[in-house]
Amino acid sequence: MLDPKTEIRMVGHILERGVIFKLSEILKDIDVEVMHCEVSFAALKAGIEEKMPSIMRFYLVGVKEERDKAVEEIKKLAKELECRIDYIRERVD
């Protein structure tokens, strides 16, 4: 079965600002699952010292209405943590 999902890519200081833990907290009451979460950075030391941003890519899986709620909360979180949403797109694979 093909699952509809929302792919999100966020750029910023993901590890240093605890984005993953804060993401988990803001989504706890929304019926979506974060799947295939990947965080990448060019160099560990530069990333930790906030000289170079990291990239987090993940999928939201759930019904459309819940994914839409989650996206709004993620946008607020990104703004609060001075991160940038590179893209948000709907996928079915």
The domain ranges of the chain are 4-92
Task: Give me the sheet containing 84-92, strands edge to edge.
Answer: 33-40, 54-61, 4-12, 84-92
- DSSP, residue by residue, 1-63: -PPEEEEEEEEE-TTTTTHHHHHHHHTTTSS-EEEEEEEE-S-HHHHHTTSS-EEEEEEEES-
- Structural Rg of the chain based on CA atoms: 13
User: What's the whole-model pTM score?
Assistant: 0.86
Span 15-64, pLDDT tens digits: 889 999 999 999 999 999 999 999 998 776 765 666 788 999 999 999 99
pLDDT tens figures, 65-90: 999 999 999 999 999 999 999 999 99
Structurally, at CATH architecture level, domain 4-92 sits in 2-Layer Sandwich (3.30)
